[in-house]
Structure 1
Amino acid sequence: MDFGFLFHHFAQITITGLALGSIYALVALGYTMVYGVLQLINFAHSEVFMYGTFAMAWTVTYFHGTSSSDEGLGSALGLLALCLIAAMVTSALVALLVERLAYRPLIRRGSPKLVILISAIGASFSLAELMGLRDKIAGWFHLDDKLANYVAQARNTYSSPITIDPHKVFEFFGYAVTDIDLLVIFSALLMMFLLDLFVRRTRLGRGIRAVAQDPEAAALMGVNSTRVIRTTFLIGGIMAGVAATLYMIRIGTTRNDAGFLIGIKAFTAAVMGGIGNLRGALVGGLVLGVMQNWGGAVFGSSWQDVFAFALLVLLLLVRPTGILGESLGKARA
C-alpha cells in the first residue's frame, strides 16, 4: 500500500476521478431511468453507449479524414459539436431499437421479468457482435473497399483521427486542471440538471413519474405507458450519446466490446447512488470514479476494479437502498 502517492498526487487523482465518474454517471442515467419506470435493468445500455463512441469516431473520420492530428479543444469545437449530435442520434436510435425489439413485445404479452432480462442480455451480445462483424456485413453488399476506413479490422481498437490535447486552465493544489477535465465534469452536471428539470417540471416528465409510481393508476388517468417507456429509452440513449462523446474526447479509442466494463461500472454507480434515482446516478458515478482512483493509487492500478466493486458491496451492506435511495416513482414534484 502506498498512501504517500495518494497524498502527494491527491488533487490530480481526485479531479481525474471526478471526470471519469462523470462519464459513469451519464451512462448510469440510462440504467436508472429504465429501472425507475419498468423495474428492469436494460443490460443492452452498454452497447447503446458503445455505438455512440463509434458514431463520434466515424464523424471525425468522415469530415476530417484518416490522417492523425493533434488539436486543441477550441479549434475542434465545431467538429465536436457535429460529433455530439451524431453520437446522441445514434445512441438514441439504438436505444429505441432495443426497446422496440427486446422489450415492447414481451411487455405487451405480460412476460415474466426474468424473460425480459434475458432478452436484454441477448440484445446486448447481438449489438456487440454486429459491430464486431461490420466488415463482413459491408462485404455482403460489396462495400468493404468503399467503407474500408470504417469497417477494416472490425474487432480491433478503433481510434479517432483527431487527438484532443488538454490545455491548462488553472492550478489546483499542484495539479493543472485542464479544459477537458472541466468540459467532462460540467457537461455531466448540466445534463443532470436538464434531465432533472425535465422529469420534474414537464408534462411528459410527470407522466414518467406517474408510470414509475403506479402504472395501472397512470393508465386509468390517460397516460400512454408505451409512449412513456419509449421516451425513457430515448432519453437514456441521448445521455449515453453525450457520455460517448466525452469518453472519446478523453480516451480517444473504442472497440466493439468497449461498453462492457463501462456498462458494469455505470450500473454499479446507479446501484451505489440508489437505483431509480436520477440524482443518485450522478452521485454514485462521481463517488465511484473518485474512490476507484484513490484505490488504484493506494493498492496499484491493477486493483482499481477490485476496490470499486468491493466498495459497492460494503456500501450496500450498510445502506441497501444506495446513497440517496429514493426511486424515480417517489421523487418529489
Structure 2
Amino acid sequence: MEKNYKLSKWLNGEMTKTELNEFQSQEDFAIYEKIKKYSSELEIETDKNNEEEMLDKVISSKIKLNKTKPLYKNWYLKIAAVLVIGFGLFLGLEAFSEITEIAINGKQNVFSLPDNSEVVMNSGSKIEYSKWNWYNKRQLNLSGEAYFKVAKGKKFTVNTNSGKVTVLGTQFNVKSRNKRFDVTCYEGKVRVKSTKNEVILLKGQTVSFENNKMIINQSVTENKPLWTLNEMKFEKEKFKNLIQEIEIQYNISLKTYDFKSEQLFTGTIPTDNIDITLQIIASNYHLKIKKINENSFELVTSR
C-alpha cells in the first residue's frame, strides 16, 4: 500500500522535492510516466472512493507490460529456429547420403573423393560411395571401369560384382563388366580378391578373371590406362564383350545379328575414330560394315 500511496501523491502533484527525486530514481518511473501521459488523454469520471481501485489496476497493468514480449520478436525467434534446424538437417542428410557418379556412354567423368583421391571413370560406368566416415572407411562400389590415384591414408577398397581391390595409396585401374574382372597396378601395391582367388599386384602387373577363373596374370609397360589416351587395349577378349565396349565408348549401336565367334581378340583400337575401329573389327572377323545412320551400324558376314 505504501507504493500506492506514493503513486497517488505523485499523480496528484503532492510530493515534496526530496520525495519526487527519490520517486524519479525508481526503476519503474519511466513506465509510470507513460501511464500518466496516456491516462491524462482519457475522459474518465472518478472520485476519491474508487481511487484505490484505480491505482491497483494501474500497478496490475504495469506488471503485465513487463511480462509481455513483442509479437514480432517471437516470430523472429521461431523463424530463426526453423532455419537453424533445417540447415542442420540438410547438413546431416548430405553427410549420410549416398553419392553417385556416372560416366555416360561416349563420355568420361573425372572427379575427386573427399580425401582428394582422383578418379577417372571410363564410359558406361558408375561409382557409389558415402561421405559419412570416409576417412576411416574409404570404400566405394564400381560398375564399369575407372582409374584411381589414391591419396595416402587408411585402407581404400573398390567393390565390384566380380571381386574387390584393396590398397593403401597407389595408382591402379579396375574394370568389371559381364563377369570379367580386370585389375592393373601402375604404382605401389594392390590386393585383388575374387570369389575363389586372391593375388597381390605390384607396379606394372595386371590380372584378369572371368567367371571367377584367372585368365591373365602378366606384366604391362604402360604407366597409365590407354583408354585415358583415346585407345582401348584388349587381352583375350570375347567378341560380344568387344562389341559392347565399342558401343559404350562411341555411344552407338552395332548390330551383329546371329554372328558368333570363339576367336578371342588381343590388340589396341582407337576410341576417337569410329571408322578405323570398325575396320579393325571387320578385318579380324571377316565382316562387312553397313552404316544405317550416324549412330547405328551393321556388321554382317562377308562370306
Which TM-score band applies after superposition, normalised by the shorter structure? Answer: under 0.3
Bigger fraction of residues in strand: 2
Larger RCO, structures 1/2 (Cα 8 Å, 6+ apart): 1
Q: Report the TM-score when normalising by structure 2.
A: 0.20
Bigger fraction of residues in helix: 1
Q: Report the TM-score when normalising by structure 1.
A: 0.19
